[in-house]
Amino acid sequence: MGRRRVQPFSAEVWKLAARQHGVVTRRQLLALGMSRDAVLGRIDAGRLHIVARGVYAVGRPDLSRQGGWLAAVLSCGPEAVLSHGSAAALWGVTVRIDATIDVTVPPHVRRRRPGIVLHRRKIEPGERKETHGVPVTTVHRTLLDLAQTLGPRHLEAAINEADKLDLTDPDRLRATLGDYAGRPGVAALRTVLDRQTFALTDSELERRFLPLARRAGLSLPATGRRLNGFKVDFYWPDLGLVVETDGLRYHRTPTQQARDRLRDQAHSAAGLVPLRFTHAQVCFEPEHVRTTLAAVAKRLAADGRR
């Protein structure tokens, strides 16, 4: 007996797959009128490819990263959401590279899925969103979850990235902490967001620099401000001091170095004091950076700039 002919997918199935990054569930196929035998027939024919229990890739077995995330969420039930590091990556906030996928499910869900890290916690309706077609924890809930596993430096970097992407800002994030009173991660977020110590920065190097400035006795600087036609890393208006941190200076091109000299000259012509530290100095000679900052700040204060 010859192999049974398998009917092509309906237009509704293709539309569903297109919306869901090439992924569908058995429940969705049955809801569209496909019988269980028809589903099995398409699996045998290589038109459906099993990704997880009850979840299939349509047409081709290869999925995009977003398709893989959605497949993981769909395999964990209708109340599941992408969360933690995977949610951060979906929002565009890079905190780690890991092959596993984080999914949060309600406490009563006891299933296990290979390659998926399940977090059993209650997700309130206001803590879930859908972005790029994937159910995911909100940015604020994602940062709260990250605060339970990341150290202060990496958590600060995640907050900065979220701000740069206009997903939130420190004030909005601080305002939500009251809603999470007593929850794990709140204390860590409050510490990082302390108004006396937190500043928005663009790089890991800049985040390493800020504690050195505090140890040198300087106040919290303005960051990312445009002065004299240039965006500066750190600016102390009361001192007239501008500080730039150069990432891996030996990789910088002659054109970039010439532009650095022009910006330093523009600041000097405007009556400001430009100061520049290299990657190696900030990372490996922190005491030199601290003492230099302290000496310059003391001199500027004595000159009556305060």
Residue with tokens 């004595």: 302
pLDDT in tens, 197-206: 666 566 777 7
Q: What pLDDT score does 15 carry?
A: 92
User: Are residues 107 and 120 in contact, defined by beta-carbon separation less than 8 angstroms?
Assistant: yes
Whole-angstrom Cα distance, residue 274 to residue 261? Answer: 10
Q: Which residues of the chain have pLDDT under 50?
A: 1-2, 248-251, 306
Contact 119, 61 (CB under 8 A): no
* Dihedral angle sign, alpha carbons of residues 91, 81, 118, 106: positive
Q: What is the CA radius of gyration of the chain?
A: 26
Output the pTM of the full model.
0.67
CA distance 133 to 85: 18
pLDDT for position 96: 64
What is the structure's pLDDT at 1? 42
CA atoms within 13 A on the CB side of 13: 23
CA–CA dist 274, 249 (Å, integer): 17
C-alpha span between 40 and 73 (Å, rounded): 22
pLDDT of residue 280: 77
Give me the amino acid identity at 93: V
Domains and CATH numbers, the chain: 11-63 (no CATH), 69-192 (no CATH), 204-302 (3.40.960.10)
Rounded Cα gap, residues 262 and 242, in angstroms: 14
How far is the first Cα of the chain from the last one, in angstroms, to the nearest whole number?
Answer: 94
Contact 257, 270 (CB under 8 A): no
pLDDT confidence of residue 306: 44
How high is the pLDDT of residue 265? 93
Contacts of 96 (CB under 8 A, 6+ apart): 85
Place of tokens 């950076």: 289
**Side chain identity at residue 282, one-letter code:** V
Angle in degrees, 0-180, between the axes of helices 84-91 and 65-75, rounded to the nearest 10: 140
Alpha carbons 70 and 28: distance in angstroms, whole number: 14
Q: Say if CB 119 and CB 113 are below 8 A apart.
A: no
> CA-CA distance, 155 to 146, in Å (whole number)?
7
